[in-house]
Amino acid sequence: MAAIDRPVAVVTLFLLQVFAVGASAGVVKVTPERDLSPRPATVAHREIVVPGKTTQGTRDTRISGAQLAERLGKLDPKGRIIGVVLDGETRENLFDARSGQAAVPASTTKIVTSTAALTALDPAARITTKVVRKGGRLVLVGGGDPTLSSRERPEGQPRPASIAELAKETADALKADGTTGIAVDYDASLYSGSVLGPGWKPTYVTEGSVAPVSALMVDNGRVAPNPCEGTVAPVKDGPKHAVQVFVDWLKRYGVSASVGRPGSGEGGQQVADVQSPTVSALVEHLMDCSDNDVTEALARQVALKKGQPASFDGAARAVRNVLQSLGAAQGVETLDGSGLSPLNRITPLGLAKMISMNAAGDRKALRTVITGMPVAGFSGTLAARFLGTPGAGVVRAKTGTLNHVATLAGIIQHKNGRLLTFAFMANGVEDLAEARSTLDALATAAATCDC
């Protein structure tokens, strides 16, 4: 049974990213990454420059690799950071610091998972949560949408599906056939295997960085809505909590309902359904917010699409198969989708090449990986970084943070208009703040170099 249904209309993928300005920096949690800052009240538009096109007409904007390498080398004299800078048009290697050496990527792994998701899945597809009737009972069937909201009228962008709306549609159908009381079972069987990823620390769950992975949950499996501004503790049992929320809403809509037992919805008659935001919208969200739950969900959707079990192992195999079909698997070995696993290994060159592919105009669906990247000094996990530097507004990148790990990978609009792609990675870090400062300095220098 497919977990993703195609919508009636295809959603246009915009190449303009709206990013936030003017917010004060929030408190940043370092390990693992959901280092997220408040959303500001004002917005501005910024063009994403396609490789090969510049803001300076037709003049030669090529950058000297030797001069760039000299400048960046001075910022990391002890050679603690591995990385690479590529020309966005020619893919020429402009700076190379052991770029073929694999390292723990942390949340830059989300670039890999998002690329696979937008390749394997229809970017306009949505994940369906439904209710079916089997005999005299209902079954709430999870399709793998962690963003399903407990609120009657959810807020935020992308706007999630509402379990209250699902309950109202169900209540209307029940009352129409004279049913006033019913038990509700729940089906989370779409996923299999462990609910925690390889190498994940138990504290990742207890501190709210991720919930145990489940095909049925509301509010990302948390005790309350889990916005970009921070983390919220998870519930003890995601599927059971989801059905309890659903039952509570049924009661509000005039149906006497009770929480049943785990069961299968297979063969049941559909009563109601709601759908998640599109895959492309979910990718933009997870890139901007570094949402671990959504990333693991999309990895499993890739597994289902490729005929693999919706498990960590199945998702890892499916993602790799998709990358191989793109010619982008070299230097990429991942065991989870979110990057929480310290067992993942990716090379800076592998990341930078993948970003270059996503930025290229010949694969427009993949541009969402780029538009979802936080903007330095303005949005998402970069809102509190690059402040007061020339890199603010011209660096767009995915961040990564774990214990002793700091990474940064994305695109740079050089001051002459040239587009660059880059990946910088630091492992074995003792001072994370210092390491992240160096990563930011490297990206800023690449953007402003007189090369």
Q: Which residues are catalytic?
A: 107, 110, 290
Asked if 113 contacts 282 with a C-beta cutoff of 8 angstroms, the reply is no
What is the spatial distance between Cα 366 and Cα 125, in angstroms, rounded to a whole number?
Answer: 14
What is the spatial distance between Cα 446 and Cα 414, in angstroms, rounded to a whole number?
Answer: 7
What is the spatial distance between Cα 411 and Cα 447, in angstroms, rounded to a whole number?
Answer: 10
The whole-angstrom distance between residue 311's C-alpha and the CA centroid of its chain comes to 18
Residue in the block written with tokens 């993703």: 4
Partners of 129 in the beta sheet? 274
Q: What are phi and psi of 375, to 5 degrees?
A: -100, 130
What is the spatial distance between Cα 245 and Cα 97, in angstroms, rounded to a whole number?
Answer: 52
Please calculate the CA angle 279-225-39 and round it to the nearest 5 degrees. Answer: 75
The structure tokens listed for 148 are 């399903």
